[in-house]
Amino acid sequence: MVLPNPSVLEVFENQHPGRNYTIEIVCPEFTSVCPKTGQPDFGTLTITYTPDTTCVELKSLKLYLQAFRNEGIFYEEVTNRILDELVGALAPRKMKLVAAFTSRGGISTTVTAIHEAVG
């Protein structure tokens, strides 16, 4: 079974670094596993970023996210980890990740985290 690994993320050169523009990626089929109960979790990830010198290649992003399928991980951790690993791979000028998970036991949770490049 494949483990989630940011090294599968491929990037390509941003041909327009002179412009601050925005890329929004919506992934409504994210699934991982609750580390306490072993039950599957389901959520929608929305990634919004301003590229600096590189953009993420979308098929590699899909494979990277699919690898969480059997990973036991908390909502807060998976949100921050994916943000960190995307920031590590892309060094974007700005990136926001909103992770909205479906209801469990009558409770639904949304985690929102933002990274901004320094300087």
| 102 makes contact with its own copies (CB under 8 A) | yes
β-sheet bridge partners, residue 22? none
Residue 111: both structure tokens together: 């985690």
Considering only CA atoms, which of 63, 20, 65 is closest in space to residue 46? 65
Judged by CB under 8 A, the residue of 6, 23, 85, 93 near its own copies is 23
DSSP result, 24-93: EEEEEEEEEE-TTT--EEEEEEEEEEE-SSEEE-HHHHHHHHHGGGG-B--HHHHHHHHHHHHHHHH--S
| 52 makes contact with its own copies (CB under 8 A) | no
- For residue 88, the minimal CB distance to its own copies (Å) is 14
| 3 makes contact with its own copies (CB under 8 A) | no
Judged by CB under 8 A, the residue of 5, 12, 53, 88 near its own copies is 12
Residues that bind its own copies (CB under 8 A): 1, 12, 14-16, 19-29, 31, 36-37, 39-40, 42, 51, 55, 57-59, 61-62, 66, 69-70, 74-77, 79-80, 84, 102-115
